[in-house]
Chain A
Amino acid sequence: MSGAEFTTRPVSDPPLREDFGWRFAGAVAGAGLLTLLLAYAVVALLIEGTALWGTNIPFVWGFDLINYVWWIGIANAASLFAVVLVLRRHGLRTAVNRFAEAAALAAVAAAAIYPILHLGRPWLFYWTFPYPATYQVWPNFRSTLVWDFWGIMSHVVVTGLFWYTGLIPDLATMRDRAVARSRMVQARIYGVAALGWRGSVRHWARHQAAYRLVAAMVLPMLVSAQTIVALEFATTLVPEWHQARLPLHVVATGIPSGLGVVLALAALLRGGLGLTRYIDDDDMRLLAKLTAAAALACGYLYAEALLVAVLEDATTRQAIAARAFGAYAGLYWGGALLVVVVPQLLWLKRAQIQARWAVPIGIGAAAGVWLDRFSLVAGGLLRDHLPNPAPLYVPTVPEWTLLAGTIGLFALLMLGFARFVPVVSMYETRHEESEADVP
């Protein structure tokens, strides 16, 4: 391919197009409706309280924590993926980085709703902030929930920065192309967002340094954020949760789920926006293999969980057995199937490239991790220190509504991203192409 033929127009044009077609409008309408449902679920929850849910004593947490942990896992895995690519200057980064980061950001937004809504009195969520209150009451810094507050706040800030820093040169390109089309309002918005980017060598030098710096910041924090979420469980006295392996399990199972979502999105964008050239078959293959490899690693973790159970004390052993073979056994094994076994299909060449394979497998991995989190939050409590003759946790319609709502929010944010910013990094694509031109 030659430099003269190469253009990033297919990437930069969609945001500037007047009309995106009926499919896009339909998708936005669907996502918008689900988001409205979210608004309804939130208002109902604020009026009626958590009695709407299927939670009880001892199953005090239900969809609130399951979905929170799940969304955070997706966000973290997607970010982690993007970061690794940036730091390793991997070729694939050009193709999928941008929407991996966007997916992470949208997932964080969906996740951040839950820790607030799950409170008995959500309007007082800010009491976990260390602010100088009149009575000088501070948060309890020993609490994993406070750690989690810091974890998710840092996550939002750094993921946002990472995404935004990478976007700046392209925003400038968008500004220039909008000016060229005399779309002055859009040009102004893109211009402000581009922070006066002029493409000078100094700008590029600073930008690259900043971008890699932020990426380096993301890397350890992502592991720690996931770990802190896992510590909310692992530091309790609940026998099944109180295991040192739990943070590793939560971090590791998050990876195939995040990769799976990125893979599914990549396949959809490729087909939907006609970006086959930019997200090429090699990119898809690499992504698919990564997902399959991560799934294999999770398989090791699942096996380890059951093997280690044999060595544990009787209470923990019974607790692990109760989770794997008790009332929520279907969730546990369903999770293992979707996270570990099904993604192995991605080693097949056909499955790596074709959307009709990649999309269900990718979404399935995410769903599998969701089942795993459900099994952790509910099934982990089946065997406690004292027997508890309480009815099992079963999610209620308001909880499903809330989940559907956050999926709608995630979809709406992703659609907005596809509509308003370039989905593939244009400057990196250009860079890659120009490097390829060098003899």
Chain B
Amino acid sequence: MTPPDALPDPLPPPDPDRRSLLRAAGASLALATAAGCDVGPQEFGSPLYAPARGADAASAGLRRYATVLDLDGLGRGVLVRARDGHAIKIEGNPRHPASLGATDVFLESAVLALHDPARSRRLRRYGRVERDAALFARYMAEQRAALAATGGQGFRLLTGPIASPTQRRLIAALLAQWPGARWHVHAPLADAAAAAGARLAFGEAVTPLPDLSRATTVLCLGADPLGPGPAQLAQARGWAEARARGRQAGRLPALIVAESTPSLTGAKADRLLVLPPWEIEALARAVAAELGVAAAEGATHPEAAALAASLRAAGAEACVLAGRGQAVAVHALAHAINATLGAEIPCIADPNAAEAGTLEELSDAVAAGQVTHLLVLDANPVFDAPAPLDMAALLRAVPHSLHAGGQVDETALACGWHLPLRHPLECFGDSRAFDGTAALRQPATMPLVEAARAPEELLGALAGLPGDGLALVQETWRGVWGEAFAENWLVALEAGVIADSATPPQVLPLRADFALPSATPQPSTPVALFAPDPNLWDGRFATEAWLQELPRPLGNLAWGNAVLMAPADARAAGVAEGAVVELRLGGQTLRAPVLVVPGQAPGVVTLPLGGGRRAAGGVPGAVGIDAYRLRPAASPWLAEGLQIRATGAEAWAERGAEHALAGDTPRVRRLAPDQAVPPLPPPRSLYPDWTYPGHAWGMAIDLDTCIGCNACVVACQAENNTPVVGPEESARGRAMHWLRVDRVVTGTAEAPQVDYQPVPCMHCEKAPCEVVCPVNATVHDHEGLNLMVYPRCIGTRTCSNNCPYKVRKFNWAGYARQADAVPVRNPEVPLRPRGVIEKCTYCQHRIKGAQDVARQEGRALRDGEITTACQAACPTRAIHFGDINDPDSDVSRAKSQGRNYALLGNLDTRPRTTYLAKLVG
């Protein structure tokens, strides 16, 4: 038994306002500088060390730390760029299997969450700030003593999904210490059907680990492997590799997608079937029947024969994936088809799988009066649990409740006590990736919130285990490595990944007695389909201004979400895009704006989860709709009995179209593998051509591999201090993104062809913007960059008028310096004042930085040494950047392909940024 004060004393809380936060940050900076940049202040106990191998030591004060950030409990390795002790930018860790050097929007925004002024900073009692830290320590001691006396009877731990070895070890220790205690896991986006399907097929609840890089035909049954999620980066990379090989071989791999609501995977599909969920199941059965899966015998579907034929042709190189929200039978059939085809999809046990109860069981236990103590660790059930459970009332029924979390969220306000948690970038820990690969989490900055504790420390203190977070993590790995700990520890920290720690995958045979549950009857339409929000995920990212302002892949929506309806359904309900409808489901009602999307299955209304947070830190008010309020506990993904009523209100007026316009050369070109883009007529100009004796920077964006994930957009925003303008200004069309991803829809409403096209500055050779600026504020540099001279700009905006690509953004207000501006800034890029135009610079500071390093080392620049922020983030490596004067550079090789073309090439602006046409088989 540990002494009652085992939980470290939180320091007295600092003054709440923002200024003092900045003062605190300034003080941390001063401390860091005094300590020589790489060692944090000792009172926080977390020295910063072990920069990643290959970190550019040449630039003083700049460090990269390899660490890991979790999504849904599964880790993705990152390199954190820190300047003078401050984490300023997240980049992917090439060695980590769940990152492979790329990032997604959630990873990119982690630095913003770290620096969020609205982070939880103080202890709270019933939602109110409690300044007496000793009171909390006393309370904890008393309760621990009381629980120790009863063997933890009545103690419940509620967490999100946890794969971290250390956290699991501590929870196990806690449960061992208190036999009466129980652990419950609440994962709003977990899908029990996947495990049930695997059990049906293999007898074990395993997760498939498809290697899309070797698949030549992929059938997605509602699966979205290219969409956001813990394995997105690896799967997207795999798909892109298969695609690249297919391009070279002249035989493109086939991606066949059957989906009910548009997804990123659906946009890349070579064949897209828009089907409601019950028809997807029917299709899965019919395809299985065609391929000889005995259990599915007799099922038919008009599309099945063709799909079965292509799967059969691919044989062992086929891969069938079932997605979130699909019926158990679909998951089971996906496994069965793979097994029948001999596709040998490796499977592992879900790293998140745990011997833990569910939220419903916790709810029942509370109702039965069995729970006296509840610790909610880094979860927000009051917001993201199905509404019928009424978590707020549940928490009120528990005599002693403690919420530990990084934000003062809905659950923090509903619990008796709230303890701020450290951000993952501030503390030691570890995690497992989707494939089981373990990685160490290390602080990349000094802790910015004094009162905050690491989750490991809290669990350790409860379990009576001594030591801080570092000691607890080391203890875990000392147990794994034994004698080799000393040598392995630093290696693992530096690499950001623990070598050979992936769970060994196994290929399981189909159960001999494989049988399917009876087919799901067709429900009465419309049905509600619940889906995670592409920007807010389950709602935990609602506090990130970058993600709120990021236009969603669908409908260009920022600062708010909408329900998705098929054009036919919208017509039937008598609503147009932007109209507000009232949705009624299971006695709950919700008013929500409508987005009419081609590619949505008729009869299916998609309700995005994660919006409408009532307590989301600094983000003002409730942004968007909260679909959790309609979500039934029994069927969390698909609910029958949805009623839709038009209200006559309008959320936004009709906006300009995102569709391609008739009469233009298609902006996204499509080619057969053996075709080439026809060359443009020779350019003419009154002005002499520029000459570039040295370097000439250029970019090529491969539209065949771009999946429209938006990672580049957030990476650009983080790198270039692009300001957040807020919901009002964003609605006025003043968002500042230097890089945008345009969604180009062609085809019909039932069979849309969706393309994503990232549009940065084109750095035109004959830049129309340069000619019209009256004061020479936008000029051509000696390496061909089209640059803005901010101090010279007087803000006529005429350059934006003359830019056919509309990539120039104007500081209508002093966004970067206003009081609620985003608190994280890259010191290498200036903040732009009010009244000037800004735009993509090809990350000119990175170019100059690399040139400086090369010059100091007395060598020429190497190709690939300079990566732009967007390029580094891209999971499919669709962005190529480099010196087009060098014929052997990556970008020159990309541009020399026959599918290279300029956007609006007919205007003869001669863009440096070109596109590689999409290939169609």
Contact = CB atoms under 8 A, between A and B. Distances in A.
Interface of A: 48-51, 53-61, 118-121, 124-125, 127-128, 137-140, 142-146, 149, 232, 235-238, 313-315, 317-318, 381-392
Contacts of B834: 49, 120-121
A125 B833 CA distance: 16
A57 B663 contact: no
Contact of A120 (B655, B734, B811): B811
Contact of A139 (B742, B776, B835): B776
A280 to B, nearest CB: 47
B733 A51 contact: no
A61 B799 CA distance: 11
Contacts of A119: 794-796, 835
B774 A48 contact: no
B774 A121 contact: no
A209 B731 CA distance: 60
A34 B876 CA distance: 60
Contacts of B797: 55, 60-61, 120
Given A121-B834, A237-B804, 16 more contacts: A56-B812, A57-B808, A57-B809, A61-B801, A119-B795, A120-B796, A121-B833, A121-B835, A128-B775, A139-B774, A318-B661, A318-B663, A382-B656, A384-B806, A385-B804, A390-B655
Report whether over half of chain A's contact residues are helix, strand or loop; otherwise say mixed: loop
Nearest to A148: B774
Given A57-B810, A385-B664, A140 B776 contact: yes
Interface stretch (B158-166, B395-403, B765-773): B765-773
16 contacts: A49-B834, A49-B835, A50-B812, A51-B729, A54-B732, A120-B797, A120-B836, A127-B774, A127-B792, A140-B772, A142-B771, A313-B663, A385-B904, A386-B759, A387-B659, A391-B731
Which of A51, A125, A381 counts the most B-chain CB atoms under 10 A from its CB? A51
Given A49-B834, A139-B774, A236 B801 contact: yes
A389 B806 contact: no
A55 B798 CA distance: 13
B664 A391 contact: no
Given A318-B663, A391-B732, A121 B836 contact: yes
Nearest to B744: A387
A62 to B, nearest CB: 10
B660 interface: yes
A100 B99 CA distance: 73
Interface in B647-694: 652-653, 655-664, 667
Nearest to A380: B801
- Secondary structure class of chain B's binding surface, majority of residues: loop
B813 interface: yes
Contact of B812 (A49, A149, A385, A387): A49
B469 to A, nearest CB: 45
A51 B768 contact: no
B657 A58 contact: no
A55 B796 contact: no
Given A61-B801, A119-B795, A314 B663 contact: yes
A59 B775 CA distance: 21
B795 A391 contact: no
Given A50-B812, A149-B774, A389-B658, A137 B792 contact: yes
B793 interface: yes
B910 to A, nearest CB: 13
A231 to B, nearest CB: 10
Nearest to B551: A389
Interface of B: 556, 652-653, 655-664, 667, 729, 731-734, 742, 759, 768, 771-776, 792-798, 800-806, 808-814, 833-837, 903-904, 907
B915 to A, nearest CB: 13
A138 B776 contact: yes
A57 B733 contact: yes
A301 B380 CA distance: 66
A143 B772 contact: yes
A387 B658 contact: yes
A408 B180 CA distance: 82
A315 B663 contact: yes
Given A58-B800, A143-B771, A383-B661, A50 B795 contact: yes
Most buried by B among A120, A124, A125, A318: A120
A439 B907 CA distance: 69
B772 A144 contact: yes
Contacts of B776: 137-140
A393 to B, nearest CB: 9
Closest 6 A/B residue pairs (Cβ):
A120-B795, A120-B835, A314-B663, A56-B733, A390-B733, A51-B813
Nearest to A115: B796
A229 to B, nearest CB: 13
Contacts of A384: 804, 806
Contacts of B771: 140, 142-143
Nearest to A149: B774
Nearest to A237: B804
Nearest to B904: A385
A391 B655 contact: yes
B421 to A, nearest CB: 37
Residue among A56, A59, A317 with most chain B CB within 10 A:
A56
B703 to A, nearest CB: 15
B764 to A, nearest CB: 11
Contacts of A388: 656, 806
Contacts of A314: 662-664
Contacts of B792: 127, 137
Nearest to B556: A389
A318 B662 contact: yes
A381 B809 CA distance: 16
Nearest to B834: A49
A180 B588 CA distance: 91
A93 B12 CA distance: 85
A128 B775 CA distance: 6
A236 B806 contact: no
Contacts of B658: 387, 389
Most chain-B Cβ atoms within 10 A of its Cβ — which of A49, A59, A382, A383?
A49
A422 B506 CA distance: 102
Given A143-B774, A318-B662, A50 B835 contact: yes
Contacts of B775: 127-128, 137, 139-140
Nearest to A377: B801
A386 B806 contact: yes
Given A57-B810, A121-B835, A235-B772, A387 B661 contact: yes
B233 to A, nearest CB: 28
Nearest to A59: B733
A57 B800 contact: yes
A318 B660 CA distance: 13
A23 to B, nearest CB: 42
A60 B768 CA distance: 16
A418 B292 CA distance: 98
Contacts of B795: 50, 119-121
Nearest to B757: A386
B729 A315 contact: no
Nearest to A124: B794
Nearest to A313: B663
Q: Which of A57, A59, A139, A385 has the most CB of B within 10 A?
A: A57
B772 A385 contact: no
Contacts of B808: 57
A392 B652 CA distance: 12
Contacts of B663: 313-315, 317-318
A143 B653 contact: no
A386 B741 CA distance: 13
A55 B806 CA distance: 14
A391 B794 contact: no
Contacts of B796: 118-120, 145
Contacts of B733: 56-57, 59, 390-391
Given A57-B800, A125-B794, A139-B775, A390 B835 contact: no
Contacts of A120: 793-797, 810-811, 834-837
B667 A386 contact: yes
